[in-house]
Amino acid sequence: MVAMWLLGWQTGGGLIVQNPMPLYNLVLWMMSGAPAWFPGLIGFLLTTAQVFYLNHIIIKHEVLFKNSYLPALFYMLFLTFIPQFLSFNPVIITNTFLLLALDKIFRLYKSTNPLPLVFDTCFLIGVATLFYLPAISFFLLFAISILILKTFSWRDWMVGIVGLLLPFFFAFVYYFWYDGLDELKEKFFLNNIRQLIDTGGLALQGYRITLVVITLITILAIIRIRQNFYKNATRIRNYQQVIFMFMFVALLSLAFAGSVAVYRFSIVTIPLGTMISYYFLAAKKAWISEVIFWLLIATMAVNYVSVYS
């Protein structure tokens, strides 16, 4: 992974500074006097922590039918799958907050005191949005997840909305105090989100082979999960539905993204790594799994060769 970051830092675009949201702009300001290699180091440390944290979440909540380090492996693989993913960009930071939110969403199942978890989840989504605006779509993940994991309660929705809006309130007060509301409006409504859903945003420009390979393997994973779905306990089935909705919302966020940069696709790596892990764990023929794994490695190699050529 270290080698991939070194390569990606040189070829993947370095530090992304285009149209930064308020909190990402703050991070850029803090890094403005740092050495050129410092953002790459922070990105590497952040993604490494995410790899282990995702695996911790999957094992702690028993999302898969047996414990494995495959979620960490495939999350790491997909994070380094394309050189542009390894630039220091707002999605890297956003994924950290989405993992924290996912952990709290799973804890909602049969929780005797869900309101603090609801508030924390939506607050984390709100903070993530101040780094990367399309992350606001993950409030939909929260809304569907509480319907899956627990009975309906209007208090959950009210607390969730308050938690989501609180970071925006803080941002509004700051920009109002420093007479920057026009700048805030420009960040939210002009540069970072599409006014209409654009399905063209789902196209991974310049990486058609990658898109085809990942799509085919994801379909195989969905089929395998569907075949074994009712063999699992109710709790695990609910968690798997949350992962499916995570993938759906992540794809939806791509359609809303104001930027067409390749790095934005890294937001799907959390559910993608989990789903692919299930396929490999449930595979009945080892040689098929090996062929698919080496196909992924070959596709990854093609991505890096195409950048250097």
pLDDT on residue 197: 46
pLDDT on residue 32: 84
Cα 309 to Cα 305: distance, rounded to the nearest angstrom: 6
pLDDT on residue 191: 54
- What is the torsional sign of CA 155, 156, 157, 162? positive
Paired tokens of 42: 């922070």
In order along the chain (309 residues), what is the average pLDDT of each group of 10 residues?
55 65 89 82 90 95 90 92 84 95 94 93 96 93 94 90 95 86 72 49 64 89 89 89 95 76 88 94 87 90 76
Cα 146 to Cα 115: distance, rounded to the nearest angstrom: 11
Cα 308 to Cα 116: distance, rounded to the nearest angstrom: 49
Say whether pTM exceeds 0.85. yes
Bridge partners, residue 88, by sequence: 15
Contact 83, 7 (CB under 8 A): yes
Q: What is the 3-state secondary structure (H, E, C) of 40-89?
A: HHHHHHHHHHHHHHHHHHHHHCCCCCCCCCHHHHHHHHHHCCCHHHHCEC
Domain range annotation of the chain: 2-308
